[in-house]
Structures are given as C-alpha cells and as structure tokens.
C-alpha cells in the first residue's frame, strides 16, 4: 500500500477539514473575489511552512511547500467560489447570505486541499521537490484558473497537476476518473434573428422572424445528429427564446441563447462554423437575417493517461481496488481546471460523497439547493490529493 499511514493521518485531522468546510459554506462568495474564503484558508494553514503568492486580477492564491531536498514540482488545486442561488438544506451551517450557496461543492474542494497541505507539510522532511496548492476563485464561469495562469501565480509551471470534484449522487468514498476527455468544452451561443415586425393579422406585410427562429432551433438539432459522429458527443441546447411584447404584434426580432458542448477541439471549431452557416441559411430562406455570436468558454478537460494511472494507483492503494471506478464516457459538464490541464499534464477525479448506505442514485446532484455532502468522505479526498503528490514526487510518471 502506498504510504499506509496517509489515510489514518487524514482521518486524524477530520475535525479541522470539516470545520473549515463548514465555515466556508456558511459565508459563500461569488466570482473572482473570495477574500473571506481565502482568509479562512490562510488562518487554517497559518502555522505551516508554506510560501504564499497572491495578487493580480483575482483573490486567488498559491501556497508552495518546499521539500527538504530538490526534486519534481506538482500542483494540487481547489476552487473557492459559490453559486448565485438560495440554499434549502436546513443545515446548521447553511449559507447566511441570501442568494448564495456552495451547491457545487467548492467549499469541500478547498477544505480537502487544505487538509492535503497539512498532511504533506507533516512529511516535509521526507519530500524531494515541491508542491503548489492552488486556491482558486471564479470557477463558476469566471475563468479563474485562466486568470491565475495569466497573472503568473503558477510560475514556474509544475510538471503535473491534480484536482478533485465531489459527486453527491455517487457511491460514498469512490474515486472515479478516465484518461482523455473527462468533461466537455462549454461555449455560449447567441443568435439574433432580425426581420420586420407589424400587425399579427397581416403577416404578409412583415418579415416574421418567429418562424425562422423556430426553424433554426430544429435545424441545429438536425445539424448535431447528421454532421457529427454520435460516438464523439456534440451538444447544442437552446435554453432561451425571447421575442414579442403583445399577442397581436409580430416582433422585429427574436433572440436565442444556449450552450455548445464538445469533446474535441476539432469538433469545437467545426460546430462553431456550422452553426453560423445553418442559422444564416435558414434565416435567408425566410427572408430574414441571423447574426450569430459564439462566446468561448472552458476548453475540454483532458486528462493525461499517466496522471490517471497515478490516481488509480493511489485510490486503490488507500481504499482498495473496489473504490476506484473507470468512467466509461465523459461527462458533458465543463470545468475550468481544463486551463491548467492545457498547460500541464494531469488529471481531475471525482469523489463520491453520498451518505454511506443511502441510495446514491436518487441523491440530489450538484447545483441543487438541497445538495447534501457526507463529510465523512472528505478525509479520503485529502488523502487522495496528498497521495497523488507524494507518488508523483517520488517517481514522476514512471
């Protein structure tokens, strides 16, 4: 077993991991500015031999642990921001800020990373190399990882990077991952269909954009099924349609908004081009115009097979082979740890945090206002993160 005392050490600091998680959960912060959360982290780790770097365009910070001897460099990451939604869990430590909740588990990610820092600092004299602990704001659509990279907070770059994401509707304690695409790219789609409005009783005197907009929505679905291999998933979902002010008025325009998900850079580029061609072609057939804007979001979260193998080795060594799961397919959600993985080989893994013994398949998922985390799983997460760092520092990708 790899570092046989690591899990016991993590369980020994369980109270501190859980306490930090609850403190962060009670005061959620949004976007790129999470100063209260960072202050809690720094206070929890104040007595550890860490060198801190902050500043730039976010409240992100990187704490570096330098081992007793020189060697490799590895990064561990946890995100800190919450979501703009009300909480309905009834927990004693529920959000005290209306309209904000840690419903994606970033409070647990940060607490587990702090726990890993404590575990590794206790082993500093054994370490050859250094560990960067990346405490990142702005994961929920704000490109926090990209900002921290551009701000130079992760300079020099590590040779490997690892992260965890909880799954409240997965079996308690399992660790899951896969080589290659783990999560999709996510881009925002905006289409404005422009016509000429008028009285609803006289459509022949107008250029009605509404039928054209409806035809564009259905054409985009046909585009996915007829232009892309079903085994290499592409998703286009129109989630908003805005038009009109009265039941008897044909509007001048219709606004469509949605999301685009792909698993390869090639499909990402291709679908952007084909959406514009399709929307403009359909609109022309109705005598109106379509203006298409694609706003790039997170890239594909691509996991290096060697890093995934390390995660599997660590999880199996700590908990047994039955608690490692190789995912059969990617998840079409998105994650801004992808920016780090574009620059550095590494991997993200999922940690099951459903209550032990519960029917996890019916548990509330992330982004639910009633999401529940079994905190007994959190020391496992700290042990996995610390274990991946130790394994990489010892033998690299060998």
Is the bond preceding 293 in cis, omega lying within 30 degrees of 0? Answer: no
Please give, one letter per residue, the 3-state secondary structure of 150-213: HCCCCCCCCCEEEEEEEECCCCCCCEEECCEEEECEEEEEEEEEECECEECCCHHHCECHHHHH
User: Which residues span the domain enclosing 272?
Assistant: 185-295
Q: Is residue 274 part of a domain?
A: yes
Structural domain count of the chain:
2
Confidence of residue 2 (pLDDT cuts 50, 70, 90): low
Residue linked to tokens 């199996």? 316
Q: Give yes or no: residues 97 and 145 share one domain.
A: yes
Arithmetic mean of pLDDT, 343-370: 95
CATH number at residue 101: 3.40.630.10
Residues 100, 26 contacting (CB under 8 angstroms): no
Q: Give yes or no: residues 132 and 190 share one domain.
A: no
CATH number at residue 204: 3.30.70.360
Q: Give yes or no: residues 22 and 130 share one domain.
A: yes
Q: Is residue 291 part of a domain?
A: yes
Tens of pLDDT, residues 107-150: 999 999 999 999 999 999 999 999 999 999 999 999 999 999 99
CA distance 102 to 94: 9
Tens of pLDDT, residues 375-389: 999 999 999 999 999
Structure tokens at 310: 């390390």
Query: Following DSSP, what letter does each residue of 316-345 receive, concatenated?
Result: HHHH-GGGEEE-SS-BSS--TTHHHHHHS-
Q: Quick one: which H or E segment has residue 280?
A: helix 265-285
Q: Is residue 1 part of a domain?
A: no
Tens of pLDDT, residues 211-227: 999 999 999 999 999 99
Arithmetic mean of pLDDT over the chain? 97
pTM summary value:
0.94
Q: Give yes or no: residues 102 and 212 share one domain.
A: no
| pLDDT at residue 234 is higher than 90 | yes
Arithmetic mean of pLDDT, 2-13: 89
Nearest CA to 109 out of 36, 17, 7, 34 is that of 17
Tens of pLDDT, residues 38-56: 999 999 999 999 999 998 9
Angle of helix 14-26 relative to helix 378-395, nearest 10 degrees, comes to 110
Q: What are phi and psi of 222, to 5 degrees?
A: -65, -35
């Amino acid at each position: 077993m790899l570092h046989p005392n690591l899990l016991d050490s993590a369980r020994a600091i369980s109270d501190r991991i859980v306490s930090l998680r609850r403190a962060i959960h009670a005061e959620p912060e949004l976007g790129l500015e999470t100063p209260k959360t960072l202050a809690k982290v720094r206070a929890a780790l104040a007595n550890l031999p860490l060198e801190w770097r902050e500043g730039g365009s976010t409240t992100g910070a990187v704490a570096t642990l330098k081992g007793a001897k020189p060697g490799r460099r590895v990064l561990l990451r946890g995100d800190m921001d919450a979501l703009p939604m009300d909480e309905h869990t009834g927990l004693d430590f529920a959000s005290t800020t209306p309209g904000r909740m840690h419903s994606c588990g970033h409070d647990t990610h940060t607490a587990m990373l702090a726990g890993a820092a404590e575990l590794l600092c206790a082993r500093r004299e054994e370490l050859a190399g250094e560990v960067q602990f990346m405490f990142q704001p702005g994961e929920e659509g704000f490109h926090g990882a990209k900002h921290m990279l551009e701000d130079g907070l992760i300079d020099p770059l590590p040779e490997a990077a690892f992260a965890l994401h909880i799954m409240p509707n997965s079996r308690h304690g399992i660790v899951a991952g896969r080589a290659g695409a783990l999560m999709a790219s996510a881009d925002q789609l905006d289409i404005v269909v422009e016509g000429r409005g008028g009285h609803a009783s006289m459509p022949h005197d107008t250029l009605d954009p509404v039928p054209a907009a409806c035809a564009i929505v259905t054409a985009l679905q046909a585009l996915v099924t007829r232009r892309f291999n079903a085994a290499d998933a592409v998703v286009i979902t129109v989630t908003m349609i805005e038009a009109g002010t009265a039941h008897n008025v044909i509007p001048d325009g219709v606004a469509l908004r949605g999301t685009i998900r792909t698993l390869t850079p090639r499909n990402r580029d291709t679908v952007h081009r084909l959406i514009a061609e399709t929307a403009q072609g359909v609109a022309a057939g109705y005598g109106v115009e379509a203006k298409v804007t694609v706003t790039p979001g997170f890239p594909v979260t691509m996991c290096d097979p060697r890093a995934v193998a390390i995660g599997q080795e660590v999880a199996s060594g700590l908990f047994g082979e039955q608690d490692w799961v190789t995912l059969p397919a990617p998840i079409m959600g998105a994650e801004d740890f992808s920016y780090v993985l574009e620059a550095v080989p590494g991997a993200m893994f999922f940690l099951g945090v459903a209550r032990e013994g519960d029917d996890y398949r019916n548990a509330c998922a992330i982004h639910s206002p009633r999401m529940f985390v079994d905190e007994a799983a959190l020391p496992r997460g700290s042990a996995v993160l610390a274990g991946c760092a130790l394994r990489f520092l010892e033998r690299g990708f060998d």
